[in-house]
Every structure is written in C-alpha cells, then in structure tokens.
Amino acid sequence: MKTELGELRVLDAHAHFFSFRFFQALVDAMRDQLPAGDRYAGLGTRLGWELPSVDGAKLGDRWLVEMQRWGIEQMALMASIPGDEEAIAAAAKTHPARIIPFAMFDPTKPEPDARARRALTQLGIRGLCLFPAMHAYHAGDERCFPVYQEAERAGALVFVHVGQLKVGVRDLLGLPSKFDLRFSNPLDLVRPAKEFPKVPFLIPHFGSGLFREALMLGDACPNVYMDTSSSNAWMKLMPYPLDLRSVFDKALQVYTPKRILFGSDSGFFPRGWRKDIFDEQWQALRALKLPQELVELIFGGNLARLLGLG
C-alpha cells in the first residue's frame, strides 16, 4: 500500500467472510418480516448490501478485487458462522496467495477435536475463531482443550473474542443478540495460553472494553497477541478518557510491537475494505513516532511470521 512514507506491506489480520450461509441464517431468523418470494434478495434490499451467491469462490473473487484496489497483500477472512469452513476454504483455494482462511468454531458441539482436525488439515483453515459469549462457555473450559491441541499440531492460530461482543447487522435488523458477557473475560485465556505455549492466541479490538484485563493477560502470557480491529467504539464505555493514540501507547508497552496485529474488521459490500480504520491507526502510530520497522511489524510482519507466510 502506498503511504506518505512510501510502500507499506499490509496484511489484514481481522476481516469477515459473510457468506451465503451467514445471510441465509438471517433470512431464517426474520422470515415473517421479509416479503414473500425471494426473501434472500429482500434482505439485501433492506440492508442496502450486496449479498453473495452460494459459491464461496465468487465471494473470494470479490475480495480479491478489493485487495487489489487498496494494495492489500493478504487478508485473514473469517467465516462468520459455525460450520461454514467449506465456503472460506473454497475462496482460499482459488486465491491461496491472498486469502488466509479463518473460521468461526463452536467447541461445545460434538467431537470438537475431529471437527477441528478436519478444518485444519483437510480444508486448510489457518485460524480457528472462538466466540465464548456467543456460545456460552469459558475459554478455559476443558471442552476447548482438544481444539487448542489440534491447533498446536497444525501450527494454526486461535482467535478468541473477549470483551464486548456485538453483531452489527443483527442490530441493524432489530434482531436480538443473546450474548452472555460473563464468558468474555480475557483472563479466562491464562490457563490455555500457559498449557499450550506454542499456540499463538489472538484477541481482537484491544480487548474490546476489557482493556485492563487484556493487558494483564498479555503481561502473563507471551504467546497471546492483540489485534487493533474496528472503530474501537468500546473506548466510550471507559470510566476515564481514552483515545486511539493512548490505547496504542499502553498496548505497546505491554505487548510490544511484535505482538500487535493490524485488523480492519471489514465485512460487507459495497462498503468493502475499511480504509478509514487503516487511516486512523496509521495516524495514531505516526503520532507516537514509532520507528518504521516496528510499524511494518504491526501492519503485516507479525501475522506473516506467526503463520509462516514469508
């Protein structure tokens, strides 16, 4: 990507692959509120979004065009409904040098080890994404340990959503999100991170409101990483003033530049890739006068190192 300081290698560690199955689940949830006939198309009209076809590879093609538009080298695209590994795998198979396949994974369902093994070894998934508040379990629950073990064997990353959790499209549609934030404490990851020291664990949004706990986790566990994704609107919930520059400053003190990964939280079209998020974070890091070689780690080098991307 071109910046005022020259070319910057950008790998986005957090973006969503909102597939046909993701949107079909929304159609099913609000069937009575959509016009009869083609309810899927009706949902797209109501949202004002481009909804993808059933072919995951075509959605991958759409993301490739967006990456080329902005000069993004690679993106970790997360299948954002459990069991949708095939869709993101199809996209990654079509564009293996550009799309890094991550997938939402629910360890409370039967045979988590076998499902994780299939995703990682047969489908080529590089990151398993856990949402404890969504599926009602603690990240330190024994049911998760087979998943961590499979990730360790495969050299995969484990993403764990902590802190505040919102699904913006559900809010837009007036659908309830029954997430239990009692399962969102970053400190639930201390035991797994210590028992699986070779597994890189990634938490998003600077801890998504549980910033203090996220810092404590990072201080205790050197194999835990933090991503910078989204607008980080959680800052307005803090009992003390925070801005993006101060959040970066404190995160850098604890996690160091080697354990922070840029993410945009992009997800749907026609909005596409969140250049505005990149710009805000780029300016915050420039204000902190971080050396260019360390900025490059955050915007791409760290993800490339963790997943052996060269």
> pLDDT at residue 310 above 80?
no
What's the average model confidence in pLDDT over 173-182?
95
Per-residue pLDDT, 40:
97
Give the model confidence (pLDDT) of 24-44 as tens digits: 999 999 999 998 889 999 999
157-160 and 6-7 beta bridge pairing? unpaired
Per-residue pLDDT, 1:
93
Classified by CATH at the fold level, domain 2-307 comes out as TIM Barrel (3.20.20)
Give the model confidence (pLDDT) of 230-253 as tens digits: 999 999 999 999 999 999 999 999
Per-residue pLDDT, 251:
98
Domain ranges for the chain, please list them.
Answer: 2-307
Compute the C-alpha angle 169/247/11, nearest 5°: 60
pTM, rounded to two decimals = 0.97
